[in-house]
Structure 1
Amino acid sequence: MASPKSDEDRWLRVFQPRPEREIRLVCFPHAGGAATYYFAMSQQLDPRFEVTAVQYPGRQDRRTEPLVDSVPRLADQVADALAAVCEDGPFAFFGHSMGAVLAFEVARRLRDRGQAGPVRMFVSGRRAPSRVREGRVHLRDDQGLLEELRAVGGTDHRVLGDPELLAAVLPVTRNDYRAVETYRWHGGAPLECPVTALVGDADPQTTVQDAEAWAGHTTGAFDLKVFQGGHFYLDAHRAAVCDAVSAALAGSCDDVGAAATALEGSTS
């Protein structure tokens, strides 16, 4: 009889293990997405950094598990699963679309629990939590949801044209849209880590100004990267995105090293 998986085993996927990593990059998928979306990033990112992708319930190898249609509840569960990660060296967060909101909420929970938080956060293709916009995509019928997937991109055209695959994809996508469209930020202290916002200049869901508003959610440094393209700009600019992420993480490595040196000096 197989032993039950730990929370970490159930929730986290490492495609390219890097035992000598300097920082672990925990990646949060978009609505309807899965951990494998970050496989390409795990291959292209600077080898000093290890990609650890979050696998939400209800998809791929977790397809038999109940879906979670609430960002706060999902954030609670991910924060629990990251308990061991918080004690295993510095880490950063990268979230795209719904994943950006979830990464933000997980970081808040870690802080409120007194645990280590990310040394940097990357928020991609998502307006700041303080920028509220009503969303009703999750209330559309299947045809309306399919039209949304075609409009924003990011879904393999072979899936969109296969009724059997669509039957599996649409309930997961609807669930995630419900989670992110009903999410509301209720204020609270900003984060302290540096934040890098990334956005496509023609994203129908997030304007450049919406992305800039993330600056108000941290007391740390803020940077904005704008790429040509729509909501899934990063598919067309994956190498440039990986370069930008690697450069920012290299700066975080310097910050971590400087903090460690200062701590050693204060205790000697």
Structure 2
Amino acid sequence: MTSSVQHKSDWIQRYHPAPDAKNRLVCFPYAGGAASYFHPVSRMLSPEIDVLAVQYPGRQDRRTEPPSASIEELARHVTTALRPWADRPLTLLGHSMGAMVAYEVARLLTQDGAAPLSLVVSGRRSPTSVRQESVHQRDDEGIVAEMERLGGSDLRAFQDPELRALFLPVIRADYKAVETYRHQAGPALSCPVLALLGDSDPMASLEETRAWAQHTSGPFELRTFPGGHFYLNSHAVAVTEAVRDHITALNG
């Protein structure tokens, strides 16, 4: 079982390698987010679970790269980067925009005959629960106002003109990718889906989140936590334990 192979990719960060772990958890950040958001999750789950965090272009060590134009484009690149890691069962975990990318990656892996062990979606309504949104078309102040509404971001960075110029184009591009995404019909997933939701999340209602059940022929489970869109910041331990229990129940 032990493997020390390192699969180098700009798309994948592996903070706490766990080569003896039976399972891998792949974490997908929210709009404007980076792989490092999941560093605490990696620390908590290692060495029981080998945690990989996806790094989208345009941030941190990839800040000089242009951000991706669409959810589908992100999914294609991430799927390619994940193929060498599929020697262990993969659970995909995405928050907000990350849930949509994770879902599309799950579809591509399934088409490849390498269906994930499970898909965990957080803070995001189902792919077919469409709202007409246009945050990406707002001016800079409008985007900052939306981020303030959702919480979870340190808005002090946007008071610095240089940081503002660095971060806002990436956030705008991510919002555009999310808001222009439209689900393309195809076979349902076969893997279990676990949906996690803050009970006062303005971005996803209980009904919209339950609709994820329509996108798998496998088991579906919904768990709610107190809080808004970034409920997991306040409940990091409980959420991580829920994900660990979910994976363990599926594959020991």
TM-score normalized by structure 2?
0.94
Q: Which residue of 2 aligns with 1:258?
A: none
Q: Which residue of 2 aligns with 1:213?
A: 211
Among 119, 124, 127, which residue is 2:125 paired with?
127
CA–CA distance in 2 between the matches of 1:39 and 1:166?
A: 24
Compute the displacement of 1:186 (Å). 2.0
* Rg comparison, structure with higher value: 1
Q: Which moved more, 1:59-68 or 1:122-131?
A: 59-68
- Per-residue CA deviation, residues 190-248 of structure 1 (Å, 9 max, x unaligned), is 10001100000110111111111101100111110100100000000001001100100
3-state secondary structure, aligned to 1:83: helix
CA–CA distance in 2 between the matches of 1:25 and 1:108?
A: 16
Distance change in 2, residues 1:180/1:92 (3 Å): same
Compute the displacement of 1:80 (Å). 1.1
Within 5 A, what are the aligned runs for 1:82-231? 82-86=82-86, 88-114=87-113, 116-231=114-229
CA–CA distance in 2 between the matches of 1:130 and 1:157?
A: 31
Compute the displacement of 1:252 (Å). 1.6
CA–CA distance in 1 between the matches of 2:209 and 2:186?
A: 19
3-state secondary structure, aligned to 1:84: helix
TM-score normalized by structure 1?
0.89
Compute the displacement of 1:10 (Å). 1.0
Compute the displacement of 1:46 (Å). 6.0
CA–CA distance in 1 between the matches of 2:160 and 2:104?
A: 35
User: Following superposition, which runs of at least 4 residues in structure 1 exceed 6 angstroms of deviation?
Assistant: none
What is the RMSD of the two structures over their aligned residues, measured on CA atoms? Answer: 1.4
Within 5 A, what are the aligned runs for 1:7-86? 8-45=8-45, 47-86=47-86
Among 236, 239, 242, which residue is 1:238 paired with?
236
Compute the displacement of 1:177 (Å). 0.2
Compute the displacement of 1:47 (Å). 3.4
CA contact (8 A) 2:110 2:116 kept: no
Q: Which residue of 1 aligns with 2:3?
A: none
1:238 alignment partner AA:
A
3-state secondary structure, aligned to 2:52: strand
Structure 2: gaps spanning 5 or more residues = 1-5
Structure 1: gaps spanning 5 or more residues = 1-5, 255-268
Q: Percent identity?
A: 50
2:31 alignment partner AA:
A
CA–CA distance in 1 between the matches of 2:212 and 2:61?
A: 33
CA–CA distance in 1 between the matches of 2:168 and 2:9?
A: 26
- Per-residue CA deviation, residues 95-124 of structure 1 (Å, 9 max, x unaligned), is 00000000000111112233x121011000
- Per-residue CA deviation, residues 22-54 of structure 1 (Å, 9 max, x unaligned), is 111000000000100101111122631121000
CA contact (8 A) 1:8 1:82 kept: no
1:94 alignment partner AA:
L
Q: Which moved more, 1:153-162 or 1:55-64?
A: 153-162
CA contact (8 A) 1:46 1:246 kept: no
1:53 alignment partner AA:
A
1:225 alignment partner AA:
R
CA–CA distance in 1 between the matches of 2:8 and 2:213?
A: 31
CA contact (8 A) 2:17 2:46 kept: no
CA–CA distance in 2 between the matches of 1:65 and 1:92?
A: 27
Paired positions, count: 247
